[in-house]
Chains A and B, each alone.
Chain A
Amino acid sequence: MEEINYTEMIDPSLTEPEEEGGENWVFKDLFRSKQKYVTIRQREVPDHALHSSESVKKELPDGLWVKCEKCNQMIYHKDLVKNLKVCPKCQYHFRIGAWERINYLLDPGSFQELFADITSCDPLNFPGYQEKLEQVRKATDLAEGVVTGVGNIGGVPLALGVMDFSFIGGSMGSAVGEKLVRIFEYAAENGLPVVTFAVSGGARMHEGILSLMQMAATCQALNRVAEQGLLYISVLTDPTTGGVFASFASQGDIIIAEPGALIGFAGARVIQQTTRETLPSGFQRAEFLLEHGMVDMIVSRKELRNTLARLLRYHQRRKRVINQ
């Protein structure tokens, strides 16, 4: 299979610097002034992160072949990785980790992680939570369920929050909420657009009411982004449900969904138990939400980088005129 060059997927006109001292200058400048206030940790994408998604479980023992969860097609693992973990036959989008996504999306070497030192504690002394945190940290090498930072897409600087489902189902507890609030505040202070990638079962039960309060905390921080006239793009991936969908993730200026992603407020089982209704096929899938007017567009993983770059460009011009 052909090697895919991610930078080539972008319209060449988007990657060319438009004028001298453009956004890169602004970007460097803001770091110079802010350095002492934030944790900036340059982090190499760990090699295992590229192979640590859900699909690992489905691999055959030799690790060379993966079976598509949807169409059962056997796919050579390297081909799947090259195809951004999308089944070449049926276009099923495998779930991918936060670092994998960052690696696919951002301009090479542009990502700088922020607020990496914020992690969960066990405020309620909830049964099994501390053990679960330790076990998940060991298994995933992630410190928390969201990775936050800044980087470039097609040369445009942005703030970024990327959730990871392998960290307790991408659930939002205090630390996830706090990291998102910090990145929203950081974006507002530094005039950066924000993109979040949601993948979450909802609020993290183990922190009780404190998790629920993160819904309010993230929503109000988004008001600050909006007050500065900055763009917020929310990308919904499989699955985005409960308290994450019912807070920041559904409040994007532009909402993008990955094909086939499960997106909704209540789980299908809860709905069936409560209402005894039969649910239509494709219920709560990205295509269902598009049809019902809940998302702006469905974009395949291969097109996502290009689409984001174009959208970011659209919203950059006004800012630049004001700056000059």
Chain B
Amino acid sequence: MKLTLSSSPHQRVRRDTSQVMRLVILAMIPGIMAQVIIFGFGVLIQATIAVITAVITEAAILQIRGRSAKFALNDFSAVLTALLLAVSIPPLLPWWMTILGTFFAIAVVKQLYGGLGFNLFNPAMAGYVMLLISFPAAMTLWLPPQSLASIQPDFVNVLTIIMTGFTESGHSMDQLRMAADGITMATPLDSVKTALSQNYTYPEALDEAIFTNNLNASAGAGWAWVSLAYLVGGLFLVKINVINWHIPTAMLAAAALLSAVFYIADSDSFASPIFHLLNGSLLFGAFFIATDPVTASTTDKGRLVFGAFIGMWVIVIRTFGGYPDAVAFAVIVMNMAVPLIDYYTRPRTYGHTAKRARKP
């Protein structure tokens, strides 16, 4: 009888890459639901467009590369990338921009670097940054939360505006962005940034309609709920060991600490740590973006450094930079530093006493 040979170990954890990806997707559901409730169906349509684009792009490129498309698609990494991009872009972004961004993320950022496991940059964030730089206006057109909006488009209208730029009833994007009082609604980060740049104080900036009656008035209406929903999903991932706690903790702690330093130094000119944590994509990014294993540091110490620097970059760019939010930029910048971080944060091997003379 011929016996089968295989290499030890002969037992394995039942969780494979595909399951890891699907668990992350599962953990995104609370956040996506919050986005749907607060900002409408746009995010679902964007997700659909992005996922279809990602799967087709990945399959096509793998075909060209002579790899098994079925095997690679099975790992759900393309789907996850598409979803991460879809929830990051404005819900009413024209359809072709979503396709372009997804295509860029999968084809250029992921597959041209060698596919899953070989990409240097976070594909979703690189796609987002590409869109933001190419279409800055469209990429900052966020709808007001539905509770504050003058017009609340239904599913069909959302679909038509994504596809044609106008609702069935002929409303344009600008009209949809009006608040109930007829003033164009900015995102919380945007409105504070604008106010501070116009020499309003931070408390004055919080006097906007978007902030009133929300969580001690420092969180934007709706936005905070989305962030908190992603926090729930993220904590779930940490709990089931899909992601390590190091990166999110370091990132949020560094962001909070740095913004606290600014806030304590001058609470009129700088936003509070609570404001920074609850608005924008800091929480989402800390648990879902910066933790992308492929592009993050892999040592425990390295993960702390990586996360902390992202947190600091976010606050620095939000406070002094030109863009209201900065998670994507911070992540991309730190992706570049990963090999360096990994190199200098190697753990001490068992039985080794002094720091070794490092040979590259």
Chain B associates with chain A: no
